[in-house]
Structure 1
Amino acid sequence: MTHHTALRFGNRVILVTGAGGGIGRAVAERFAAEGAKVAVNDIKTEMVDDVVSGITSSGGVALAVPADVSDAAQVEAMFARIEAALGYVDVLYNNAGLIDTARHFLEADEAWWDRIQRVNLKSVFLCSHRAASVMARRRAGVIISTSSGGATRAHRGNVAYDATKGGIEAMTRSMALDLAPYGIRVNGVVPGFINTYGLTEEQLRERERAVPLGRYGVATDMVGAALFLASDDAAYITGQFIAVDGGVLVQQRSANVDTFPVEGFPVIPADLT
């Protein structure tokens, strides 16, 4: 197992939600490589087991905690299991969320809205609240959440998704204020175009044209920012966000950044007078 920095997370307990693949998996694996005891969460048990197997076979310590983190009872049971097996959670990384959510606003319905709010936003509240209740008594802890450029810039066809990411950033700022006196830091990371969901080469080439650094991101690109915010090097940072996006958010965005083109909008007849 490769140790990037002399086990800077040695014996710390890290919970990563949505760690069955993509960014969550990459972060969980790196925490383990740097000495952490990692609780690996995802709603899909087989994905969790695969990540845990990979970590333990490399000499790391990992615990499988499959659960639906939008359900309060499952969140409570998950934390209880982690505390019994590994100890109290030192770092919570809220990464679970839906990303395949595109739907034009005029084609939206309540069930679509509620599902995305529950999985992407309520889960962050539930896990953060449970973690913070223990961290506050211990006067130490770190909470990190995955946001999106959609929190501050709009994606076409993603009203519900962008609302959750804006909510995560507002929650992060407010939690940072409420929890600072108890020694808890709360921050976030903002991924740009990170290829974690099997796009074609043509789609990748088209999208990376909008990235100033000239390439799409991969899951491991997110690891450094997350581990920095969790580390003692960030001891005086709270309520902040680090964008890992190849420069996408600093530019004047062109329409080709969007993955939901105007051509996909519904045709609404103009027949009302």
Structure 2
Amino acid sequence: MTRLTGTTVLITGGGQGIGRAFALRFAQEGARVAVNDLGEEVAAAVAEEIGEAGGEALAVPGDVSRAGDVDGIFGRVEREWGPVEVLVNNAAITGDQRHFLEADEAWWDRLLGVNLKSVFLCSRRAAPAMVERRSGVILNVSSGGATRAHRGFTAYDAAKGGVEALTRALALDLAPYGVRVNGVTPGFINTYGLGGEELSRREEVVPLGRYGTPDDLTGAAVFLASAEASYITGQFIVVDGGVLVQQRSANVDTFPLTRFPKG
């Protein structure tokens, strides 16, 4: 697990959930990890956890939907370690669930700002140094909502659709300079500690029969950031237990799980 030894990695939204799992795994692979989060305490806690395990980490709090904060975050990393070599655009919020008829401009702007504008701002800040070195990786975290839809999530789904379109466009613009741009699409990931009957009910929708964990996503992310993926750009790896390949979820399928052989 040393595929990224000496590589400087910046992970946005790295203080909890999927971002925390990314930070810990990238550090295990030998990377120097800059942990960004809106909350200074959670970013510092993850950086400390990495340090206690023998890795090298730096907490860089800030709001990645604001250009001034993004400049400050990158400036801190560059002063400590030099240019960011792998950028993981993970920061995201789902916001409160609203029907489209209940939506307002502030709700839309906040969700698009954190989920999509941040990807633009951080990628724009990282790209020039990557282009100059003729190497670098940008990884964007999407959602099933980019290609399907959630009720009450019009802004979130629009933002994630934008993330996937932006990923493809950036891949084309940056490929001649040796910079790769890819992404990971999580499925149902248990970041909120669901358990018991509620979790069992939701897991019926997943062909592999269980909710994912943040750790389930880290292998795909490390692979895309490593030299093993040196000929891959503009692509997303879907890590969802098979959710998006099905026409109907298990609990409403015309051939239900109860008719499956015991095996």
Report the TM range for the smaller structure's normalisation.
over 0.9
> Which residue does the alignment assign to 1:240?
235
> Which residue does the alignment assign to 1:198?
193
> Which residue does the alignment assign to 1:184?
179
**Matching residue's letter, 1:18:** G
Equivalent residues in 2 for 1:4-43 (5 A)?
Answer: 5=1, 7-43=2-38
**Matching residue's letter, 1:120:** N
How far does the alpha carbon of each residue in 1:181-200 deviate from its partner, in whole angstroms, 9 at most, with x for none?
01100001000000102334
SS at match of 1:153: coil
How far does the alpha carbon of each residue in 1:177-229 deviate from its partner, in whole angstroms, 9 at most, with x for none?
00000110000100000010233423211111000000000010000000000
Structure 1 residue 155: deviation in Å? 0.8
Equivalent residues in 2 for 1:1-273 (5 A)?
Answer: 5=1, 7-254=2-249
Paired residues of 1:17 and 1:42 also in contact (CA < 8 A) = yes
**Matching residue's letter, 2:8:** V
Structure 1 residue 175: deviation in Å? 0.2
**Matching residue's letter, 2:204:** R
SS at match of 1:63: strand
Paired residues of 1:101 and 1:161 also in contact (CA < 8 A) = no
**Matching residue's letter, 1:236:** Y
Paired residues of 2:33 and 2:57 also in contact (CA < 8 A) = yes
- C-alpha distance in 1 between matches for 2:83 and 2:179: 14
How far does the alpha carbon of each residue in 1:42-85 deviate from its partner, in whole angstroms, 9 at most, with x for none?
00011011101100011000001001000101100110110110
Runs (4+) off by over 4 Å: none
- C-alpha distance in 2 between matches for 1:35 and 1:105: 45
Alignment: residue pair count? 252
**Matching residue's letter, 1:87:** G
Report the TM-score, using the length of structure 1 for normalisation.
0.90
**Matching residue's letter, 1:198:** G
- C-alpha distance in 2 between matches for 1:72 and 1:30: 28
- C-alpha distance in 2 between matches for 1:192 and 1:210: 11
Change (3 A) 1:198 1:136: same
Paired residues of 1:144 and 1:189 also in contact (CA < 8 A) = yes
> Which residue does the alignment assign to 2:255?
none
- C-alpha distance in 2 between matches for 1:160 and 1:101: 10
How far does the alpha carbon of each residue in 1:128-181 deviate from its partner, in whole angstroms, 9 at most, with x for none?
110011101111000001000000011111000000000000000000000000
Structure 1 residue 255: deviation in Å? 9.5
RMSD: 1.3
**Matching residue's letter, 2:181:** V
- C-alpha distance in 2 between matches for 1:48 and 1:54: 10
SS at match of 1:185: strand
Structure 1 residue 254: deviation in Å? 3.8
| Stretch deviating more after TM superposition (192-201 or 40-49) | 192-201
Report the TM-score, using the length of structure 2 for normalisation.
0.93
- C-alpha distance in 2 between matches for 1:68 and 1:200: 31
